[in-house]
Amino acid sequence: MSMHRTRIRTGGRVVRRLVAAGLVTALAGGLTACGGGGKAALPAKDGGKGGAATQADVIQDAPVAPDSAIPKGSWMAKVRERGTLRVGGTDSGALFSQRNPVTGKLEGFDAGLSQMLAKYIIGKPSTKLSLTTVATRETMLQNGTVDTVFATYTITPERAKKVAFAGPYYESGDAILVKKDNDAVKTVDDLNGTTVATEANSTAALAVKKYAPKAKTLLFQEDGECVAAVKQGRADAYVLVQGILLSDAVNDHSVKVVGQPFTKEPYGIGLPKDAPEAKQFVDAWLKKIIKGGSWAKLWKATIGTAVTGNAPKPPRIGSVEGS
């Protein structure tokens, strides 16, 4: 199986596992699918005691574009006139875009970014979510069903022939999960000399061999077996795509995800190819929120509730083929 196909398979399983795990109670509050709601969004990592910004705080403080940045007839002018940004994505992706079943609000990094973009264009974080899949994302952008797609959407040259990509706005990849009390493993270099669990049919086994050649690898068939091996002490760490590990850590507080992914999978914001001004506008907006600190604050309020350490350095806009 090619590496490309393996990544697609793994990504599909991320979504299924997140849905099956029902990872909703760990993510309280948030924003409505139609924009920013109350102040009680994702909890601060310290339980709110340190006054860390919530997702709602970040949205409230997000910038609004000047009229001069939105010329008549442009993609953004049409969004502003409509009063709602139509977003393609998911409502079941823990830490990225998940609907709270109690409040009905969308929570997560992708959801927050889409609401920040809506506020930048419209003046308020008004979004309307349409569920997309790997098979429908390009079509929905091409036929105008959605204005944009925020869906951990990996930029590839093949996809870039059909749609435009702003970004990349985030890089994911293989990451590391350990027991909650393990402070010895913080980076991939620390895996050398340890025993590492991973799934036999994933690309992570090759990644461990490449980046931590002195590690001993234990291969399992399922995610749950890898987590169990770490919890039982048969493995010091578990390496797999970050999305699955974040799901495990949110669902089981006896384990944690450390550091940042050590392989790269760049996520982009999908936009219609027949509106080139949209990509230019969204790229400029991304640079603005990165420079102003909103990007890092949103990461801390969402993904950062399940990942230790500071917010990662954002990828450089336009830095990958297809962007």
The average pLDDT across 248-254 equals 89
Query: What is the rounded CA–CA span in Å between residue 106 and residue 267?
Result: 19
The average pLDDT across 192-204 equals 91
Strands of the chain, DSSP E: 31-32, 85-89, 92-93, 97-99, 105-107, 127-131, 148-154, 164-172, 174-179, 195-199, 216-220, 237-241, 255-258, 265-271
Query: What is the rounded CA–CA span in Å between residue 124 and residue 137?
Result: 25
Percent of the chain with pLDDT over 70: 84
State the pLDDT confidence band at 222, using cuts at 50, 70 and 90.
confident
Query: Residues 6 or more apart from 162 whose CB is under 8 A from it?
Result: 138, 141, 142, 273
The average pLDDT across 132-152 equals 94
Lowest-confidence range among 119-128, 272-281, 297-306? 297-306
The average pLDDT across 282-309 equals 94
State the pLDDT confidence band at 26, using cuts at 50, 70 and 90.
very low
The average pLDDT across 194-205 equals 89
Q: What is the DSSP string of 116-180?
A: HHHHHHHSS--EEEEE--TTTHHHHHHTTS-SEEEEEEE--HHHHTTSEEEEEEEEE-EEEEEET
| Statement: residue 141 has pLDDT above 90 | yes
State the pLDDT confidence band at 51, using cuts at 50, 70 and 90.
low
State the pLDDT confidence band at 121, using cuts at 50, 70 and 90.
very high
Q: Average per-residue pLDDT in the chain?
A: 85
The average pLDDT across 273-285 equals 98
State the pLDDT confidence band at 22, using cuts at 50, 70 and 90.
very low
Under a CB-based contact definition with an 8 Å cutoff, are residues 245 and 266 in contact?
Answer: no
User: Which of 204, 191, 194 minimizes the C-alpha distance to 245?
Assistant: 204
Higher pLDDT, 112 or 134: 112
Long-range contacts at 290-299 (CB < 8 A, ≥ 24 apart): 290/314, 292/63, 294/58, 294/61, 294/62, 294/63, 294/116, 295/169, 297/53, 297/57, 297/58, 298/55, 298/58, 298/109, 298/112, 298/113, 298/116, 299/109
